[in-house]
Amino acid sequence: MILSIEELSIGSRDRTIVDGVSLAVREGEFMALVGQSGSGKSLLSQAIGQLLPPNLRASGKVLFEGADLLARSPREMRALRGKRISYIFQDYQGAFTPFRSIGAHFDEYQKVHGEKSRTARRDTAAEALESVGLDAALLRRYPFQLSGGQLQRAAIATALLLSPRLLIADEATTALDSVSAHRVLELLARKQRETGCAILFVTHDWRHVRRYANRLSVMQEGRIVESGGKHRILDHPQHEYTRKLIEAAPILGRSLRSGLGEEGQA
Amino acid sequence: MSRQIAERRDARSAAQLPGAHASIGNSSPVLIVDGLTRTYAGAARPAVQDVGFALGRGECLGLVGESGCGKSTLARCLLKIEEADAGSIVLGGQDIAPLRGRKLRPHRRKIQIVFQNPAAALNPKLRIRDSLLDPYLRLGREAKLSRFAFASREAYVRQLLEAVELPAEIAGRYPHELSGGQRQRVTIARAIGIEPDVVVLDEPTASLDVISQGAVLDLLTELRASLGLSYLFISHDLAAVHRMSQRIMVMRSGQIVDRFGADELFADERHPYTRELISIF
Amino acid sequence: MKTMFLRTRRIRPESKSGTRKSRLQAIVAALFVLLVASASVYAFGVLKHDPTLTDLRARLLGASALHPFGTDHLGRDVLTRLLLGGGQTLGYSLLALGAALIIGIPFGLIAGYKRGRIDRLFMRVADGFLAFPDTIVAIVLSGLLGAGIGNLVLAIVIVKWVSYARLVRSTVLSESQKDYVAVARTNGLSDARIMSRHLLPHIAGNVLVLASLDLGKIILLISSLSYIGLGAQPPTPEWGAMLNDSRPYFQSRPELMVYPGLAIVSTVLLANMLGDVLRDRFDVKKEAQP
């Protein structure tokens, strides 16, 4: 159990948005958190890294490798984020400062986390970019010169740069079209196999993750209504809401929802 | 136009107009597009290259492709928001490609569009009521509307909202007071309110969450049946296109690379790119 | 330091009480400006003193029941002149501003909406106008056409219209890319109608904010140029001119300079406050619209 959330509630002074949620992510697994916009799934993912907006407070426990993250000081969290836990967001454009080159970002992250040698930093950056299927020459480019898919790949490369144990992807494929989204997910799954990090993938569309997730949790209005193995949830949903969520999204009808038993794959 | 090109075009039209793979019904097509090409200034290759298809009355024709493949440019050319460099757009028997300004206006009513992002497609400073009335006041007056007959402004707006399953009190609101799904229903109501022959749906569900997506797709199917609309359904989501359409075209780098009836999607002769798309969904 | 640090956080719209307070401020500020203007007009009809009537026997009198602010070096009632001067300064400022808006807005609308050659031509012209600082233009015009408040207003219009045209152009450029403008075109709306009904409402807020901030600057400009004799000519009561008139009596009657000075300062401050408040208001509204 790398991450274990126990009875986590998030709310402002007058409103509870996430209500007593418990959730666990196992070592090295691909866990998907599915819910509509407004269900509180993004806040949940932000609370893990103490990234909540200032007007919201979290209570409960967020155990990461056994220690409660909510009790950590901002300084300790800073050291943890990036190195042990890292994030990818939907807004890939916002992931890079527009007037700094891609390379400058890679350089800065390594510097901040203690890599002193400039050449070592440069080599690591080139390697990281190549590992996500991008040309190392892109390091010299600026964010606006890259396409959406390329930027999201670069964001993944920065997120994995310091080999974190947990990667939290918050709607990381939502802004991409389904083809680029698919390629980004395939990349994430491959990097996961290579590095063995756990992934918590937050999304509104279960179709994005049906190939890759090991387990799914379905969230509705601040509560988790159903959790379980992918096959169990997608092919045999128990909860009314899960069923609704699955029926709403069309898939090409030759296989089970979970992707099991697909022609050519089975 | 040289004879050679004319011949090529004839041959091709014969191959891809009615009946090539799937029949488009007995009635004549409402929209026939041929040789449509659009190149942006400074671009190395055309954004849309030599695209042709026919859309039957009451049919939903799907168009699938990745972002940047030119499908939105095609939509904008059909709606005459952008001008194509070459090709014809025959809408109800009249080629609208060369028409401009006043001559084009009477034809505008016959084709309408629903965009991907309803937040951008509605003027944030206009109340829903006024957004819905705009097309009618500009284009609908001359036409005889059957389903949405115009009795009064109030009644017309109420009918439209009813048709897209929205409560009547929304009429007085501003777009930002509505949810994404509701906003998209409003843009759909605006597009169908003057009873066009063709509605171009450019990624109508891409900015909505899954449940709203399903609901909007169902609504669109219902409206097509009850109003006898013809759709060009553009999406990167092959599964949604497959669910909605009778025939499907696959677009890549500005060209149509594959076309087939919806029931032939899994057939062996599919283009490799189509097969790649299938593997994703 | 990972991506999350670079993520911009959405700022929440102001709380209700904050909006209410700033609305109040806006009203107060606007009322004050109105008050200054109306009082000036009112003074013209009601006060018993002729603001331009010189009476050398009554020169440089102290405050009395008849002359609450005393009289100036030509025996004219200071309060009357002060109030009327407010009307002059504010009136001419608003006139200049209005003219700049009337020229600038259509220019910007057309350039931003039509783009292409028209837009390029416009940008060249605008750059040309921007190259000259307003004070220089005013001085040159006065030299060519003669000093006077009319030429001063003309100079201000020449300098200011460009900034409105540019502001409008940039808003229209981005706004007309949006789909709703495309939809309006597919619905056969004329360009004029798209510009007036669909685009104009978007620029209203920004223009209003810029205009109210400019108002203070223009008041100051008119006063200062009148002070050096390029604006209002004697015996017209104008705050800047009044300041200049009272300069020789600074030692004996300092309040003669203090009154118009205070009037200028407080009016400019109010105009700026109005601008700030308007800016806050329109920002809040923007924030609330996703």
Give DSSP secondary structure letters for B211-259: HHHHHHHHHHHHHHHHHT-EEEEEES-HHHHHHH-SEEEEEETTEEEEE
| CATH number assigned to the domain comprising residue B261 | 3.40.50.300
Question: Quick check: bond before C235 cis, omega within 30?
Answer: yes
Interval A181-188 mean pLDDT: 85
Closest to A213 in 3D by CA, of A226, A224, A195, A199:
A199
How many domains does the structure of chain B reveal?
1
Neighbours of B28 (CB within 10 A): 13
Min Cα distance A2 → chain B (Å) is 30
Alpha helices, H only, C176-254: 179-186, 191-193, 200-227, 239-246
- At A18-70, the pLDDT tens digits run 999 999 999 999 999 999 888 889 899 989 988 888 888 899 999 998 889 98
Q: Write down all domains in chain C, each with its CATH number in brackets.
A: 17-53+63-288 (1.10.3720.10)
Contacts of C213 (CB under 8 A, 6+ apart): C271, C272, C275, C276, C279
- Does residue C289 have a pLDDT over 50? no
pLDDT band with cut points at 50, 70 and 90 for residue B225: very high
Question: In the structure encoding, which two tokens stand for residue A66, read together?
Answer: 């056994």
CA distance C86 to C260: 9
Q: Which of the listed ranges B55-59, B102-106, B277-281 does the model predict with the highest average pLDDT?
A: B55-59
- At C193-212, the pLDDT tens digits run 888 888 888 888 888 888 88
Question: What is the percentage of chain C residues whose pLDDT exceeds 70?
Answer: 79
| Residue B280 at interface with chain A, using a CB cutoff of 8 Å | yes
> Kind of pairing, strands A215-220 and A223-229?
antiparallel
Chain mean pLDDT for chain C: 78
- The H or E element containing residue B114 is strand B111-114
B19 within a domain of the structure (yes/no): no
Min Cα distance B107 → chain A (Å) is 33
Between C273 and A141, whose confidence is greater?
A: A141
B259 within a domain of the structure (yes/no): yes
Q: Tokens 């128990």 appear where?
A: A238
- Alpha-carbon dihedral sign for residues B118, B121, B124, B130: negative
Using an 8 Å Cβ cutoff, are A102 and A122 in contact? no
Torsion of CA A65, A71, A72, A77, to 10 degrees: 70
B24 within a domain of the structure (yes/no): no
Closest to C111 in 3D by CA, of C63, C172, C32:
C172
Alpha helices, H only, C131-199: 134-145, 149-175, 179-186, 191-193
Give pLDDT, residue C40.
Answer: 61
Interval A76-101 mean pLDDT: 81
CA distance A15 to A26: 31
Strand partners, C71: C77
Q: Which of B184, B207, B209 to mutate: most A Cβ within 10 Å?
A: B209
C-alpha distance from residue A42 to each of A9, A10, A46, A210, C193 (Å): 13, 11, 6, 19, 42
pLDDT band with cut points at 50, 70 and 90 for residue B149: confident
In this complex, the residue of A147, A179, A244 whose CB is nearest that of residue B280 is A179
Min Cα distance C271 → chain B (Å) is 27
- At B162-207, the pLDDT tens digits run 999 999 999 999 998 888 889 999 999 999 999 999 999 999 988 8
**Which chains lie within 8 Å of chain B at 3 or more CB pairs, if any?**
A, C
| Residue A28 at interface with chain B, using a CB cutoff of 8 Å | no
Give DSSP secondary structure letters for A108-133: HHHHHTT---HHHHHHHHHHHHHHTT
Q: Which of the listed ranges B89-103, B130-144, C73-87, C131-145 does the model predict with the highest average pLDDT?
A: B89-103
Give pLDDT, residue A54.
Answer: 80
- At C211-229, the pLDDT tens digits run 888 888 888 888 888 888 8
Neighbours of A203 (CB within 10 A): 26
Between B112 and C39, whose confidence is greater?
A: B112
- Does residue B3 have a pLDDT over 50? no
Between B95 and B22, whose confidence is greater?
A: B95
Using an 8 Å Cβ cutoff, are A226 and A35 in contact? no
CA distance A101 to A99: 7
Residue of A nearest to C8 (CA): A94
- Does residue A263 have a pLDDT over 50? no
- At A189-241, the pLDDT tens digits run 888 888 899 999 999 888 888 888 999 999 999 999 999 998 899 989 999 99
Contact B213 A247 (CB under 8 A): no
Give pLDDT, residue A97.
Answer: 81
Chain mean pLDDT for chain A: 86
- Does residue B20 have a pLDDT over 60? no
Residue of C nearest to A100 (CA): C6
> Kind of pairing, strands B111-114 and B198-202?
parallel
Give pLDDT, residue C20.
Answer: 54
Between B74 and B11, whose confidence is greater?
A: B74
Q: Which of C177, C187, C193, C198 to mutate: most B Cβ within 10 Å?
A: C187
| Residue A239 at interface with chain B, using a CB cutoff of 8 Å | no
Give pLDDT, residue A266.
Answer: 34
* Least confident window among A112-121, B137-146, C39-48, C124-133: C39-48
Half-sphere exposure of A14 (CA within 13 A, CB side): 0
- Does residue B2 have a pLDDT over 90? no
- At C117-131, the pLDDT tens digits run 888 888 888 888 888
Interval C43-69 mean pLDDT: 70
Strand partners, A85: A81, A166
B15 within a domain of the structure (yes/no): no
- Does residue A104 have a pLDDT over 80? yes
pLDDT band with cut points at 50, 70 and 90 for residue C185: confident
Closest to C180 in 3D by CA, of B87, A206, B116:
B116
Give pLDDT, residue C43.
Answer: 59
Q: Which amino acid is at A43?
A: L
B2 within a domain of the structure (yes/no): no
pLDDT band with cut points at 50, 70 and 90 for residue C41: low
Query: What long-range pairs does A78-82 form, CB within 8 A, spacing at least 24?
Result: A80/A49, A81/A49, A81/C2, A81/C4, A82/A109, A82/A112, A82/A113, A82/A162, A82/A164, A82/C1, A82/C2
Strand partners, B88: B34
In this complex, the residue of A55, A81, A97 whose CB is nearest that of residue C2 is A81
Interval B239-264 mean pLDDT: 93
Alpha helices, H only, B65-209: 71-78, 101-108, 118-121, 128-135, 153-163, 180-192
Closest to B47 in 3D by CA, of B6, B5, B89, B75:
B75
Interval C85-113 mean pLDDT: 89
B5 within a domain of the structure (yes/no): no
Give pLDDT, residue A167.
Answer: 92
Q: Which of C2, C9, C14 to mutate: most A Cβ within 10 Å?
A: C2
B34 within a domain of the structure (yes/no): yes
pLDDT band with cut points at 50, 70 and 90 for residue A137: confident
CA distance B144 to C253: 82
- At C139-181, the pLDDT tens digits run 888 788 887 888 888 888 988 899 899 999 998 988 888 888 8
Q: By residue range, what is the domain housing residue B59?
A: 29-280
Interval B11-34 mean pLDDT: 58
- Does residue C44 have a pLDDT over 70? no
* Least confident window among B14-23, B136-145, C19-28: B14-23
Using an 8 Å Cβ cutoff, are B62 and B248 in contact? yes
- Does residue B21 have a pLDDT over 50? no
In this complex, the residue of C180, C188, C201 whose CB is nearest that of residue B105 is C188
Question: What is the percentage of chain A residues whose pLDDT exceeds 70?
Answer: 94
B74 within a domain of the structure (yes/no): yes
In this complex, the residue of A37, A177, A250 whose CB is nearest that of residue B239 is A250
Give pLDDT, residue A158.
Answer: 86
Question: What is the percentage of chain A residues whose pLDDT exceeds 90?
Answer: 27
Chain mean pLDDT for chain B: 86
Give DSSP secondary structure letters for chain A: --EEEEEEEEE-SS-EEEEEEEEEE-TT-EEEEEE-TTSSHHHHHHHHTT---TT-EEEEEEEETTEEGGGS-HHHHHHHBTTTEEEEES-GGGGS-TTS-HHHHHHHHHHHTT---HHHHHHHHHHHHHHTT--GGGGGS-GGGS-HHHHHHHHHHHHHTT--SEEEEESTTTTS-HHHHHHHHHHHHHHHHHH--EEEEEES-HHHHTTT-SEEEEEETTEEEEEEEHHHHHHS--SHHHHHHHHHS---TTS-TTSTT-TTT-
- Alpha-carbon dihedral sign for residues C70, C74, C76, C78: negative
- Alpha-carbon dihedral sign for residues B185, B190, B194, B197: negative
